[in-house]
A and B are shown apart, each in its own frame.
Chain A
Amino acid sequence: NAGVTQTPKFRILKIGQSMTLQCTQDMNHNYMYWYRQDPGMGLKLIYYSVGAGITDKGEVPNGYNVSRSTTEDFPLRLELAAPSQTSVYFCASSSGTGTETQYFGPGTRLLVL
């Protein structure tokens, strides 16, 4: 099993550009999450999904959109990139509710200039 995979590993965007961060898991997990990690700030939840077709906002959803058309994939869309979106983005998945282990991908480092 590959677990959770993310692409790209690193990307530089210009202000106002858009991009999609890809996330795929092969563990048949229903629950998937997108976090951003900023220095000294820990991990902040952007969006999460409890199954295909069901998504909901986390703590910091502004400037992002998600979709979940399959169990495996949970892409994160950035529209009109801003410098404040410079961060490291992690996708995670779990098999159940809050007491289940979350498995993280290797992350995507995004720089918005």
Chain B
Amino acid sequence: QQQVKQSPQSLIVQKGGISIINCAYENTAFDYFPWYQQFPGKGPALLIAIRPDVSEKKEGRFTISFNKSAKQFSLHIMDSQPGDSATYFCAASDSGTYKYIFGTGTRLKVLA
């Protein structure tokens, strides 16, 4: 019940295309869903996050879509750029705890 399942494991997208990464969870106590971006040789950094009281959150080219009934959420990267090439991790947490449960990561490559 503590798992967060992330797919795909890797993704190749042409410049200007849309990148979509999906995550699913089981624990209904989770109430915070961040996405982290990690460049090679660096630590992960927060990209965007959503709480379950909204179905979508947009920040620039990055959008989180959230489906509470299906217990799924996804990251959409519009107009993908080579600079977006990185590993993306979804995560989930229960605001009553101090811990994140991370997905297994998606390695995104955007071709120029």
Contacts and interface: CB of A to CB of B under 8 A. Distances in A.
Interface in B87-104: 89, 93-100, 102-104
Contact of A106 (B6, B43, B89): B43
Interface residues of A, number: 26
Contacts of B46: 101-102
Interface in A57-105: 58, 90, 92, 94, 97-99, 101-105
B92 to A, nearest CB: 9
A41 B104 contact: yes
B104 A40 contact: yes
Contact of A45 (B44, B99, B103): B99
A112 to B, nearest CB: 20
Nearest to B4: A42
Contacts of A103: 45
Contact of B105 (A31, A42, A45, A92): A42
Interface string B21-51: 0000000000110101000011111100101
B67 interface: no
A71 B51 CA distance: 29
B95 A102 contact: no
B104 A42 contact: yes
B9 interface: yes
Given A90-B44, A99-B32, A102-B46, A40 B105 contact: yes
A98 B43 contact: no
Contact of B93 (A44, A90, A99, A106): A99
Nearest to A43: B102
14 contacts: A33-B99, A41-B104, A43-B44, A45-B100, A48-B98, A98-B32, A98-B93, A98-B98, A98-B100, A103-B45, A104-B44, A104-B45, A105-B43, A106-B43
Interface of A: 4, 31, 33, 35, 40-45, 48, 50, 58, 90, 92, 94, 97-99, 101-107
